[in-house]
Structure 1
Amino acid sequence: MRHMRKGELVRSLVLTALAVFVMFIILFPVYYIFVVSISPGSTLATTEFHLIPQNVSLDSYREVLFGFKGSKISENFTGTIEGSANIQDGKLYITNGRLIGKVRYGPFTGLTFEIPLSSAVFEVSAGENVQGQLKGNVKGLFVLTRVNDDGSIGFGLVRNLEITSGELGGASFSGILLQGPTGKNYIVIRNGGKVTFTRVGMFVNSVFFGYLKNSLIIAGLAVLLTLIFVVPAAYAFSRMKFFGRDHVLYFYLMFTQVAGGLGIAGLIALYGMIVKLGLYDKLPVLSFIYAAGGVPFNTWLLKGYIDSISPDFDEAALVDGASYLQIIRYVLLPMALPGIATVAIFAFIGGWTEFILASLLLTEKNQPLAVWIYLLMGGIGRGIDWSYFGAAALLFALPVFIMFMLAQNYIRSGLTIGGLKE
């Protein structure tokens, strides 16, 4: 007996060690990309790899979440203007000054900027010929398209600049910009000035959160549409008898797989129809496509789960006078929750990870995270920032991981088609 117990213990230890080794092999790429994401200046083109990184930095995550990588900001601002100036014949000439502006998002300051003004001309309400030190309050439109690493403005514009109240040599006035340093009625900033983002400003203007919003809209709407179509369809195929019931769903499932095999031809046809119908660059359209593509498989999956629920519950509800919609809502949904949760997870993952249709049918401002991360790979062989890419990839996978962790019991029950016993 003792010999048998010892043999079972050894066998259990061996199997456990083998399972740990297999899990390590499976999860090693995830760990590898995590190490890359926390290693500053990391590169994949190296013969050395440290299982434990020597230098740990969260700068890549901070850059992904709160960085500014070329997205365009076009916001109204208020601020002040000061410097040496003079007024002649109703025009204000600034010879050496600076413009300080503040962009707000609701009650919070999003960013501040400072621009030197070597020359600018305003049409003002004061007619006196005076000179001295200018002090004034201004408002306008601040356009920013690039920020340099040192915090200077790579490229930006100030439009619609207006002095709401100013004072120079005892004269009070207001006025609008006639001519900036380049001769236009706006001010151009190239590799100059300074811009500072607050935490709120970095959050609002983050590229990551903009794409994240698009992904959540697409995936969330795809889940909602999938459940709206799949739940009644699965109930009908499971409980009702009609002509072709045993063949329609399987034929539809097979047809969608064959249609999916058409590849590029199918994409061209879909693109042509979307453009002809005027639905190009519409987020809900993409959700409808994802939901429609997943309806056959998800209906088949949920039907299998409903089949395991005794129809006696439906019959009892019908005897009590319940309608079919009431049966679905009050009887089916609570009992089929594991199957429904599984369908919802699959629908979410499909809408969250797909990027081919998203890149084809959406412009850059409406594209989801999956397309953005794919476009980051465009720099392979040309200096791609692997730490930045690794952080972005892990943050992209985080919502799916959280959903699996929260719904793992439902998913396990839904996939094993657990039933109720009478």
Structure 2
Amino acid sequence: MGQKKKEIIKSFLLTLAAIFIMFIILFPVYYIFTVSIKPAATLATTKIELIPRNVTLDAYREVLFGFKGSKISKNFTGTIEGQAKIEDGKLYLTDGKITGAIKYGPFTGLKFEIPVSGIIFDVSTTENFQGTLKGEIEGLFVLTRMNDDGSIGFGIVREVELTSGDVNGVSVSGPMEKYVVIRNTGKAEFTAVGKFLNSVFFGYLKNSLLLATLTVLLSMIFVVPAAYAFSRMQFFSRDHILYFYLMFTQVAGGLGIAGLIALYGMIVKLGLYDKLPVLSFIYAAGSVPFNTWLLKGYIDSISPDFDEAALVDGASYLQIIRYVLLPMALPGIATVAIFAFIGGWTEFILASLLLTEKNQPLSVWIYLLMGGIGRGIDWSYFAAAALLFALPVFVMFMLAQNYIRSGLTVGGLKE
């Protein structure tokens, strides 16, 4: 009975220790979350509150749907109406308005309405008359600034084509001469889709997704055949080459700033500066050695009898990889793919060094948010952006946790 009591106490103490360690690990994440849902949070005034008061999602709305003056230049379709006069093949609109909408696929992203006067269309009719114009148009809408009241701070409408119009029963059509400048007039309204696709966050998100996706694809192209070769094929100094492979990358990484200077010089000399695909190649090259070693360990746990049976049936090595290895090594491949994705998603130093602002990923943007560190920084905005940045990695781990667990453990087993 005494031994059982000791075991219970021991289990209870170990459980408390585990809970305490988990609390220490997760508390910073929880605290960032509480800051992100507060109405206003600054470094000087934020208090540690385990249960926040006045909860709001304004910071997340601002990150995801905030239009910070990013330039929009998109084709639109709409209508035009107003008082018009036609003389010598030209249509003069003296007092009217243009109503238009910008589409993103099947979704409407932006609706706008602007007053216009003094614009001229070249039309095909030779009659001279006046009346009310009603027609359909298409063209290019450029928006660079919106005012707080919803009016258009500055915009341009150009390359407008009157596709079909009617003036007192007479059909007219033709292009508009020059362009229309909009200053502090009219109104524009974003839909939720439009706000998200034109937010600063989405611009950097596209870059991050492109970088991480290309990194995964390039890594898989090299890692899978290399891991198969190291696992199945016999060649001179196979094990030594793999270990040298790993050691060389670690030594190269240890060179630090010297390596960055050399890499920067090479990229600039070759004219590859500010190229997202080039950075993906660099990320993939850095991840290949470790991921090759990791996947090799998993392939080692798969019986070579399957390969031999496929060879007897006349399969080539590429067919063995595609039809035999890939389905059976899916947990290991998923693990490698996630590691490659995380490397491309979270890397900061090379992205800030080799890319200009328009091509930089989310990791660099979040760092730039800290440029105003001090009392002026919006900590709730920063916390919301940081959590949204971490969300894809968290979701990937949750969806593929069984694959990852299998990929990391089975590869370490020996028959």
Same fold (TM over 0.5): yes
**What is the CA distance between 1:318 and its match in structure 2?**
4.7
Hey, what does 1:250 align to over in structure 2? 243
Partners in 2 of 1:314 and 1:170 — Cα distance? 78
Unaligned segments of structure 2, at least 5 residues: none
Task: Summarize the Cα distance change of 1:381–1:115 in structure 2 as closer, same or farther, 3 Å threshold.
Answer: farther
Aligned to 2:29: 30
**Structure 1 residues 153 and 311, CA, compared in 2 at 3 Å: closer, same or farther?**
same
| Alignment equivalent of 1:266, drawn from 247, 259, 283 | 259
Identify the match of residue 290 of structure 2 among 276, 279, 297.
297
Residue number in structure 2 paired with 1:198: 191
After TM superposition, list the pairs within 5 Å mapping 1:3-402 onto structure 2.
Answer: 3-83=2-82, 97-117=96-116, 119-122=117-120, 125=123, 135-164=134-163, 177-178=176-177, 185-311=178-304, 313-315=306-308, 318=311, 322-381=315-374, 383-402=376-395
Summarize the Cα distance change of 1:189–1:50 in structure 2 as closer, same or farther, 3 Å threshold.
farther
Counterparts of 1:85 and 1:41 in 2: how far apart (Å)? 52
* Equivalent in the alignment of 1:182: none
Q: Is the contact between residue 99 and residue 114 of structure 2 (CA under 8 Å) also seen in structure 1? A: yes
Question: Given the superposition, is the C-alpha separation of residues 42 and 116 from structure 1 closer, same or farther in structure 2, using an over 3 Å criterion?
Answer: farther
Describe the SS at the equivalent of 2:14. helix
The alignment partner of 2:333 has SS state of helix
- Percent identical among aligned pairs is 79
Amino acid at match of 2:48: F
**Secondary structure, aligned partner of 1:71:** coil
Question: Displacement, 1:273?
Answer: 3.1
Aligned CA RMSD, in angstroms, stands at 3.3
For this pair of structures, how many residues does the alignment match? Answer: 414
Instruction: Report if aligned partners of 1:218, 1:284 keep a CA contact under 8 Å in 2.
Output: yes
CA distance in 1 between counterparts of 2:193 and 2:217 reads 31
8 Å contact kept, 2:37–2:59: yes
- SS of the equivalent of 2:394 reads helix
* Post-superposition offset of 1:173: 5.3
The whole-number CA distance in structure 2 between the counterparts of 1:93 and 1:402 is 57
1:290-315 CA distance string (max 9 Å, x none): 11111111122223333444545545
| CA displacement 1:22-56 (0-9 Å, x = unmatched) | 11111111111111222222323315232212112
**Can you give the 5+ residue segments of structure 1 that lack an aligned partner in the other structure?**
179-184
CA contact (8 A) 1:309 1:419 kept: no
CA distance in 1, matches of 2:310, 2:80: 75
The Cα shift of 1:163 comes to: 4.5
Say which SS state the counterpart of residue 149 (structure 1) adopts: coil
Q: Secondary structure at the match of 2:183?
A: strand
Larger mean CA deviation between 396-405 and 337-346 belongs to: 337-346
How far 1:265 moved relative to its partner?
Answer: 3.6
Deviates more, 1:313-322 or 1:406-415: 313-322
Match of residue 405 from structure 2: 412
| 1:409 match: secondary structure | helix
- Note the alpha carbon deviations across 1:222-273, whole angstroms, 9 max, x for none: 2222122122222322333322323222223222222223334433433343
| CA deviations over 1:310-349 (Å, ceiling 9, x no partner) | 5455455555655433443444444433332222221111
